[in-house]
A = this chain, B = another copy of it.
Amino acid sequence: MSDLNRASASADKTPRTERGRKTLRRLLEAAAEEFGERGYHEAAITGITGRAGVALGSFYTYFESKEEVFRALVRDMSRATRAHVAEAVKDAPDRIAAERIGLTAFIAFVRQHRELYRIIEEAQFVADDVYREHYRTFVEGYRRNLAAAAARGEIVAGDDEPRAWALIGMSVFLGMRYGIWEEDLSPAEVADAAISLVAEGLRKRG
């Protein structure tokens, strides 16, 4: 709930009861549908409450405005994406295996959450700070993983911040092309091709 805390204007909007948490979750899921289908400018708070089956007054228990629910949604989707990938890779034997498993899981996640890209991408025009926070948070975790793997001797050492941005850009574009636009390769096939490039390198040896 810490993400939602930060997104709320006042911390006392965080639900204290199980029922409140369920209502908040329903509102966020409805917001993902409403913003994903209609875009930020066409989306309406009444569209969100209608989809959620929640009274309009209840909406204002949790959010003060359309912008506030949008910001909370971007943070919630960002957290859910990172959690999904982290869960998928938690038993990976090493960093390169984790890259392959993580990219496969990410593309599969995108296929099941097709509204993800539209909402995150629109954030750069509606709430650029939340858009940047999304990628900076992703990169920070990635950078730490690369540094730890280099320290363990699993990968070559390098400049981890640009390496992390490079790897995340790669994943985002592969997710767009093979997750949303067309599904002509499976997530595992895409990850095999991309992680082979990243793990072994383009240079021909020997």
Contact = CB atoms under 8 A, between A and B. Distances in A.
Find the residue from A95, A173, A194 having the highest chain B CB count within 10 A.
A173
Contact of A162 (B121, B159, B166, B193): B193
A197 interface: yes
Given A158-B193, A163-B194, A167-B197, 10 more contacts: A39-B125, A99-B202, A125-B125, A156-B204, A159-B189, A166-B174, A166-B194, A197-B198, A199-B201, A201-B201
23 contacts: A41-B41, A99-B202, A121-B121, A121-B125, A125-B125, A153-B204, A154-B204, A156-B202, A159-B189, A159-B193, A162-B190, A162-B193, A163-B194, A165-B178, A166-B193, A166-B194, A166-B197, A169-B170, A169-B173, A172-B173, A199-B201, A199-B203, A201-B201
A171 B169 CA distance: 7
A18 interface: no
Contacts of A153: 204
A-side interface mostly: helix
A60 interface: no
A122 B126 CA distance: 11
Interface residues of A, number: 48
Interface of A: 39, 41, 95-96, 99, 121-122, 124-125, 132, 135, 153-156, 158-159, 162-163, 165-174, 176-178, 181, 185, 189-190, 192-194, 196-204
